Amino acid sequence: MDGTYVEIHLINQTTHKDTVVQLGDPLEHGQAEWVLDQTGVDYSRFRFMETAEGIRLEYLEGDSVVAVDGTAVSDTALIQDGSILRIDDEEFRCELRRQSFSAAPPHIDAGWLTITGSVREHNEDAIGIFQQPPYYLFAVADGVGGAEAGEIISDFAIRYLLYTFSQYLRPDTDWESVFRTAINAINDEARRYARHLTEQRQRQVQAGCTLTAVALIGWDAHIVHVGDSRLYLQQDGVLQQATVDHSTFPAANINPNTTMAGGAMNTTKRNVLIKGIGKSDQIEPDLKRLRLKPGDKLLLCSDGMSDRISEAELGGLIGGMPPQRLAAYLSQTADERRSGDNVSVIVVHVSTPGQSAPVSQPVPQPRVYIGPQPRPRLITVPDVVTDMSTDTGERQLPLTIIIPVIILVLIVLIVGLLLVRGAG
């Protein structure tokens, strides 16, 4: 059965960038969140909902001054086609479009590659792949903190996300809630692991990673994102970055979008992560849902690629090669341009069944995890999340208490025996 859904185009009146928020079909929630978090604008979180009255905007969180068509918004407001949404000094023209969708699930063709690169000694990136139609998950994590910290956390984050995803393969799953809970659990264990390393080494140790993932359920793409790895979407021939980088650039005279000959990005660019797994005790990931169309292309990557291949160059490449070939080409090109970092790329082509090309078969790769994973654990650190299914309710004393008690009992027995013999 076919149906329709609503697209809300938020067109920045200064930059003319078109941000698209897509609401689900009537069988689903019919709502989507939108986060505005960019330079010069305070963090603000909104929800768009399709109601009997029309499209309603709900102001969920933030300190911005918000108005719709000149009327201040503190809670909710109706959005019309052509409405002007003003957030502090930014103005967005709202265009409402109703699109058709097909109930038949899409055909997915994906390719991926992660490489250490020519500069680093080890790979702190990790990739996660889950493909059991109609459920797909593609994820990239970029570690922060070196081999014993970032490399371990990115590995753990990918495996934990795959483990969690495989537990909720049901049509009624609230993926936003699942992903938010998973990110917080990963962050809790990363923070605990960092404290363990700090105590062990007697110096401050940072252990964390970025994490960007997209779950494809039918024609819906559910995005979870924290950090500066990226997700790009090419739709109707136009490539846009679907995530917002949680990073900043300390050198005021550096333009991170400057490109050089051959399309390579500015070699002086240095990312300073302002939000990531393990960065702080509390974490709120960006969550978004998009409606896909036949012919759409998705690309996930670590900053080892995005720092060396511009969006303009990427737009000219993404539709010209099969997914696996393009993933290999982009990784090699970024490395040849002296990325100075590990490089990870996942390319996904979305098409209708019957119009699909043969699926490419990537070769096995280190630090790529495919399919359901057992519940991962950070060795050397007690789990923050316990498996309640195996909890019998019994509690055992730790060895740090048991051993001294045993020694004390033995000493008492020996002293007692000596006293008895002396008295005899």
Each residue of 252-290: pLDDT tens digit?
A: 434 444 443 344 444 445 568 889 999 999 999 999 988
Peptide bond before 134: cis, by omega within 30 degrees of 0?
yes
Q: Where are the beta strands (DSSP E) in 265-315?
A: 272-273, 286-291, 297-301
Residue 16 is predicted with a pLDDT of 83
**Does 127 share its domain with 170?**
yes
**Does 137 share its domain with 67?**
no
In a domain, 169, yes or no: yes
**Does 30 share its domain with 148?**
no
Indicate which CATH number applies to the domain containing 243. 3.60.40.10
Distances (CA, A) of 192 to 143, 203, 281, 381: 16, 15, 10, 7
Q: Which residue has the higher pLDDT, 120 or 221?
A: 221
Please, which pLDDT band fits residue 151 given cuts at 50, 70 and 90?
A: very high
- Given 101, 133, 150, which residue is the final one in a domain? 101
Question: For the residues 395-408, what does the mean pLDDT come to?
Answer: 64
**Does 130 share its domain with 60?**
no
Three-state DSSP state, 99 = strand
Q: Any idea what the Cα angle at residue 59 is, between residues 55 and 65, rounded to 5°? A: 115
Q: Any idea what the Cα angle at residue 187 is, between residues 30 and 365, rounded to 5°? A: 90
Asked if residue 129 has pLDDT above 70, the reply is yes
**Does 160 share its domain with 94?**
no
Amino acid of residue 156: F
Residue 29 is predicted with a pLDDT of 45
Indicate which CATH number applies to the domain containing 57. 2.60.200.20
302 φ, ψ (degrees, to nearest 5): -85, 170
Segment (H or E) for 330:
helix 323-336
**Does 122 share its domain with 92?**
no
Asked if residue 201 has pLDDT above 60, the reply is yes
Asked if residue 386 has pLDDT above 90, the reply is no
Three-state DSSP state, 334 = helix
In a domain, 404, yes or no: no
* Cβ–Cβ under 8 Å, residues 84 and 91: yes
Burial of 246 (0-12, 13-18, 19+ CB in 10 A): buried
98 φ, ψ (degrees, to nearest 5): -100, 125
At 310, list the tokens: 């511009």
At 111, list the tokens: 């390719």
Any residues with CB less than 8 A from the CB of 302 and at least 6 apart, and which? 114, 125, 140, 142, 210, 229, 341, 342, 343, 344
Question: For the residues 338-362, what does the mean pLDDT come to?
Answer: 78
**Does 61 share its domain with 173?**
no
**Does 164 share its domain with 281?**
yes
At 164, list the tokens: 């969690």
In a domain, 114, yes or no: yes
Q: Which among 40-49, 194-203, 395-404 has the top mean pLDDT?
A: 194-203
In a domain, 403, yes or no: no
**Does 209 share its domain with 307?**
yes
Please, which pLDDT band fits residue 103 given cuts at 50, 70 and 90?
A: low
In a domain, 392, yes or no: no
- Given 101, 122, 139, which residue is the final one in a domain? 101
Question: For the residues 283-301, what does the mean pLDDT come to?
Answer: 93
d(CA 125, CA 140): 7
Burial of 184 (0-12, 13-18, 19+ CB in 10 A): middle
In a domain, 119, yes or no: yes
**Does 126 share its domain with 64?**
no
* Cβ–Cβ under 8 Å, residues 353 and 104: yes
In a domain, 390, yes or no: no
At 26, list the tokens: 């009537």
Residue 423 is predicted with a pLDDT of 66
* Cβ–Cβ under 8 Å, residues 234 and 291: no
Residue 33 is predicted with a pLDDT of 76
In angstroms and rounded to an integer, the radius of gyration of the C-alpha atoms of the chain is 25
Domain boundaries, position 22: 3-101
Distances (CA, A) of 1 to 5, 100, 292, 379, 420: 13, 11, 17, 49, 91
Q: Which among 169-178, 255-264, 348-357, 358-367 has the top mean pLDDT?
A: 169-178
d(CA 76, CA 79): 10
The domain tally of the chain equals 2
| Percent of the chain with pLDDT strictly greater than 70 | 81
Asked if residue 356 has pLDDT above 60, the reply is no
Question: For the residues 208-218, what does the mean pLDDT come to?
Answer: 96
Q: Which residue has the higher pLDDT, 415 or 280?
A: 280
**Does 344 share its domain with 361?**
yes
Distances (CA, A) of 355 to 104, 251, 301: 13, 49, 27
In a domain, 386, yes or no: no
**Does 19 share its domain with 149?**
no
Which residue in 51, 52, 55 sits closest to 80, CA to CA? 55
- Given 347, 370, 393, which residue is the final one in a domain? 370
